[in-house]
Amino acid sequence: MSADLQGSRALVTGAGHGIGRAIAVALAEAGADVAVHYHSSADEAAKTVSAIEALGRKAKAFQADATVTAEVDRLVEEATGFLGGLDVLVCNAGHLIGRATIAEMSDDHFDRVIDTNLTSTFRTVRAALPHLKESSAGRVITMSSLAAHNGGGPGSVAYAAAKAGIRGFTKG
């Protein structure tokens, strides 16, 4: 990352591993302190925190189910309290959940995929907006997927729809 984010304060959802970890570490390399959100793996989130701290930046892990409004509200409040404000929000939390054709997909499966990917983005942005508005450089970055463009392959229609929804949400 070539940006200079010295002194910036960032919250990255789904930062315990994979792409989210890479984003959180890149933000720290650019000079940001980072609140690391995770859902289920405290050990993996701790590895992300350690990697950020090794760069000389401040970091802390925060657990929350990003599909639950009260937990997202708590996450944002705790993260902004730790950071002293918020300049950058990266909505990365998401998951395929599992593959199912439309004919075999249950309402519960469809709802879980939409909630995990699209609804969590909405809830996190909504909770973070008041804090981002206080920043002179508030930014929101949302993560989608190639599945939004190509349908994601067999059995991933709900995931593709959620990721396409993120694109529309972000443009809106």
Catalytic annotation present for 38: no
Residue of 8, 120, 144, 156 with catalytic role: 144
- Using CA atoms, how far apart are residues 154 and 28, in angstroms rounded to an integer? 37
- Using CA atoms, how far apart are residues 130 and 64, in angstroms rounded to an integer? 19
Catalytic annotation present for 58: no
Q: What are phi and psi for residue 35, nearest 5 degrees?
A: -90, 125
Residue of 8, 120, 156, 163 with catalytic role: 163
Residues 42, 7, 94: CA angle, nearest 5 degrees:
35
Query: Can you say whether residue 62 is alpha, beta or left, with left for phi > 0 and alpha for psi between -120 and 50 degrees?
Result: beta
Catalytic annotation present for 171: no
Contact 83, 7 (CB under 8 A): no
Residue of 8, 120, 145, 156 with catalytic role: 145
Give me the active site residues, please. Answer: 144-145, 159, 163
